[in-house]
């Protein structure tokens, strides 16, 4: 496929523009890019419209992690209204080069749950992104509770996070994990303060479920394309 064909816009959904090349990524065993994860997070936001939930786009999470200007970061975070959110989900990428768009080679997920004052890092490849998740946590934790509050938020590595079975499905693990956490949050079941959503992940983020996510997201995109 030529460059112009690969760059062809195929779908605009909320603020996300998908291109022909994104379909190719989903059609094969390839690493998910920022756009596909942002599309799925936007879709989840529409499915879970609670004002308590925020799914942060990859580009925003990356800038929070790597912003060199503390004052600039404060202004940047203000529109996100983090003090008003009870559940915030950040995608984590291991790209260290702010000049390189869509760099990195691994995705993981950092989830903040205000009711338990905790940030939990879920990494499908043996805590490969621990350093990057900690950097994101340290960048955002001071802005989480409003201008006059002192943060008591803790950081936890979830060592029981379901693990990927290949070298390219980390992004799919992020999408499946985000979906499961949002569903857990909105369920009517009692939320155990110690277990959180961990049991739900073991049940719903399995190799078969993750494997089907690729076809599922591709199907969702094609359905939306047919309606536009």
Secondary structure (3-state) at 193: coil
Predicted pLDDT of residue 122: 98
Quick check: 88 and 56 in contact, CB under 8 A?
yes
Predicted pLDDT of residue 170: 97
Predicted pLDDT of residue 226: 96
Please give the distance of CA 74 from its chain centroid, rounded to a whole number.
Answer: 21
User: For residue 52, which of 17, 89, 78 has the smallest C-alpha distance?
Assistant: 89
Predicted pLDDT of residue 210: 97
Q: How far apart are CA 7 and CA 9, in angstroms?
A: 6
Give every CB contact of residue 22 below 8 A, 6+ residues apart in sequence.
10, 33, 35, 36, 39, 221
Predicted pLDDT of residue 137: 96
E strands along the chain, which residues?
9-13, 16-19, 53-55, 87-93, 107-113, 118-122, 154-157
CATH 3.40.395.10 fits 5-226, yes or no: yes
Q: How far apart are CA 12 and CA 224, in angstroms?
A: 9
Q: What is the pLDDT along the chain (228 residues), one digit of tens a residue?
A: 556 788 899 999 999 999 999 999 999 899 999 999 999 999 999 999 899 999 999 999 999 999 888 778 988 899 999 999 999 999 999 998 877 767 789 999 999 999 999 999 999 999 999 999 999 999 999 888 765 455 789 999 999 999 999 999 999 999 999 999 999 999 856 555 667 999 999 999 999 999 999 999 999 999 999 998
């Amino acid at each position: 496929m030529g460059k112009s064909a690969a760059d062809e816009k195929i779908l605009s959904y909320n603020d996300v523009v998908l291109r022909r090349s994104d379909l190719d990524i989903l059609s094969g065993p390839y690493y998910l890019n920022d756009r596909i994860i942002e599309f799925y997070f936007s879709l989840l936001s529409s499915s879970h419209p609670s004002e308590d939930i925020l799914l942060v786009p990859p580009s925003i999470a990356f800038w929070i992690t790597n912003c060199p200007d503390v004052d600039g970061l404060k202004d940047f975070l203000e529109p996100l209204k983090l003090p008003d959110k009870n559940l915030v989900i950040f995608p984590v990428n291991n790209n260290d080069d702010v000049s390189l768009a869509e760099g990195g080679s691994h995705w993981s997920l950092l989830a903040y749950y205000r009711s338990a004052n905790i940030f939990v890092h879920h990494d499908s490849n043996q805590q490969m992104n621990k350093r990057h998740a900690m950097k994101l946590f340290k960048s955002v934790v001071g802005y989480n509770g409003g201008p006059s509050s002192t943060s008591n938020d803790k950081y936890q590595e979830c060592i029981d996070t379901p693990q990927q079975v290949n070298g390219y499905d980390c992004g799919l693990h992020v999408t499946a994990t985000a979906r499961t956490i949002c569903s857990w949050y909105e369920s009517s079941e009692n939320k155990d303060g110690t277990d959180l959503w961990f049991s739900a992940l073991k049940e719903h983020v399995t190799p078969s479920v993750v494997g089907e996510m690729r076809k599922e997201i591709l199907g969702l995109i094609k359905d939306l394309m047919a309606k536009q």
